[in-house]
């Protein structure tokens, strides 16, 4: 039986090992090629998706950029308009201030003119309705004044420009009669009558009807003067002699004969309070 060659067996084993390695290498190469192909496919797909997404994002960013540019333009226009409006408002405010001052001046002038137009007027309160009816109401009122004040005050019939009831609806039977507005032709006669009214306050009558006479002030002046009513009543009660001069200025005659002027109601109130403090507590 022939002997085996150990070298030949060794070569055979090496040959088989080499062949197996070659087969394994070929399988590995085939598998790597497939993986590479799949990776390339996925890479291409991802790149396509990324490109599409990038285009969508770029389109949106372009729109956003365009909108931002548009908004910047509109904001710039608004800022420009705001500056113009601010300037116009400043000019308008200055104009309003000027108009307010002019309006105040005109109102004062109008009040002064209206007051001057009433300087010769007297308001008579208390005469029953319809007594003055006739062809010449001015003649009736003129004779009434002579009868009320007497010949010593009015030696002749005073000349009147007008005499009429206030422009209100005629009252009912039991309602207060309307005021009669008398306009004297001469201011001196009107002033004489009002001095006599102040001297004989509360005692003037005509045919059993008590009459009261007042200056014909404007509504604004009357509003100012009525605020002194309580202060004047308190001053009368405390022995002072207050006089309310035109338009609304209070003059007080002190016990020593001196005159003191009070320009406001608050000032009159402080004066009354000071007299109470000087008098001390009541016994």
Query: pLDDT (tens digit, 9 = 90+) per residue, 237-271?
Result: 887 888 888 878 888 888 777 888 888 888 888 88
- Cα pseudo-dihedral 56, 60, 66, 70, rounded to 10: 160
Give pLDDT, residue 13.
61
Pairwise CA distance, residues 153 & 219, whole Å: 30
Q: What share of the chain is helix, strand, coil (3-state, %, to 5)?
A: 60, 15, 25
pLDDT at 122: 96
Residue 230 has pLDDT above 80, yes or no: yes
Label residue 182 exposed, middle or buried (CB < 10 Å: 0-12, 13-18, 19+).
Answer: buried
pLDDT digits 0-9 by tens, 124-172: 999 999 888 878 899 999 999 999 999 999 999 999 999 999 989 999 8
**260: helix, strand or coil:** strand
User: Predicted confidence band at 283 (pLDDT cuts at 50, 70, 90)?
Assistant: very low
Residue 89 lies in a domain: yes
Q: Cα(89)–Cα(191) distance, rounded to whole angstroms? A: 53
Query: Two tokens at 259?
Result: 């005159």
Q: Which one of 195, 216, 237 terminates a domain?
A: 216
pLDDT of residue 30: 65
**Domain identity same for 127 and 188:** yes
Domain co-membership, 206 together with 138: yes
Q: Which of 68, 89, 117 is the last residue of a domain?
A: 117
Judge whether residue 201 has pLDDT over 60: yes
Can you tell me the mean pLDDT for 41-51? 83
**Based on the domain organization, do 147 and 199 belong to the same domain?**
yes
Q: Domain containing 278 — which CATH number?
A: 3.30.250.20
Residue 157 CB partners (closer than 8 Å, separation 6+): 139, 142, 143, 146
Is residue 33 in a domain? Answer: no
Residue 29 lies in a domain: no
Stated pTM of the model: 0.60
Quote the domain boundaries for residue 239. 217-283
Nearest to 154 by CA among 137, 136, 142: 142
Helix (H) or strand (E) holding 164: strand 160-165
pLDDT above 90 as % of the chain: 35
What domain count does the chain have?
Answer: 3
- 148: CATH: 3.30.70.1820
**Which of 216, 246, 266 marks a domain boundary?**
216
């Amino acid at each position: 039986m022939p002997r085996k060659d150990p070298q030949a067996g060794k070569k055979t084993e090496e040959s088989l090992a080499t062949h197996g390695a070659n087969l394994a290498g070929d399988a590995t190469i085939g598998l790597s090629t497939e993986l590479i192909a799949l990776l390339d496919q996925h890479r291409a797909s991802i790149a396509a998706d990324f490109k599409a997404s990038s285009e969508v994002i770029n389109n949106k960013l372009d729109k956003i950029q365009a909108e931002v540019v548009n908004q910047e333009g509109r904001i710039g226009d608004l800022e420009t308009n705001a500056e113009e409006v601010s300037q116009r408002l400043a000019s308008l405010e200055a104009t309003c201030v000027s108009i307010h001052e002019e309006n105040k001046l005109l109102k004062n002038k109008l009040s002064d003119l209206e007051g001057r137009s009433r300087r010769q007027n007297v308001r008579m309160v208390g005469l029953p309705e319809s007594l003055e009816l006739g062809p010449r109401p001015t003649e009736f009122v003129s004779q009434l004044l002579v009868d009320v004040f007497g010949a010593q005050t009015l030696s002749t019939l005073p000349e009147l420009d007008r005499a009429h009831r206030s422009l209100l609806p005629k009252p009912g039977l039991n309602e207060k009669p309307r005021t009669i507005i008398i306009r004297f032709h001469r201011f001196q006669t009107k002033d004489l009558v009002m001095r006599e009214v102040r001297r004989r306050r509360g005692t003037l009558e005509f045919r059993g009807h008590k009459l009261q006479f007042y200056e014909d002030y404007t509504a604004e002046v009357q509003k100012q003067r009525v605020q002194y009513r309580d202060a004047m009543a308190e001053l009368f009660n405390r022995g002072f002699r207050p006089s309310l001069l035109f338009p609304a200025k209070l003059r007080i005659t002190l016990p020593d004969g001196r005159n003191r002027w009070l320009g406001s109601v608050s000032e009159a109130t402080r004066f009354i309070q000071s007299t109470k403090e000087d008098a001390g507590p009541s016994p």
